[in-house]
Amino acid sequence: MNQQNIFEKLSKIFHEVFTNPNIVLTASLTATDVDGWDSLTHMILIDEIETQFNIKFKLKELNKLKNVGDLLEIIELKLAS
């Protein structure tokens, strides 16, 4: 799966989790940029990403996330291995 496909799939997940089809994903997007992105929706988001991409995150990976670009990078690495 290439980066564009991952990004498109990730966009759909964000739209579903936050019930907002107007969210535009960028590499620099953070939780403070999205209405309703709190600790609960963050866990729902991570769970949905793990399910849709059939991957599992480690806690230390999640702690390093600063933005969507970081998330994309980790997903790419996990899918490549």
* Burial of 68 per CB tally in 10 Å (0-12, 13-18, 19+): buried
3-state secondary structure of 43: helix
pLDDT at 1 (0 to 100): 86
Q: Give the domain ranges of the chain.
A: 3-80
pLDDT at 81 (0 to 100): 86
User: Which residues of the chain fall short of a pLDDT of 50?
Assistant: none
CA dihedral 28, 49, 61, 73 (to 10 degrees): -50
CATH superfamily label, 3-80: ACP-like (1.10.1200.10)
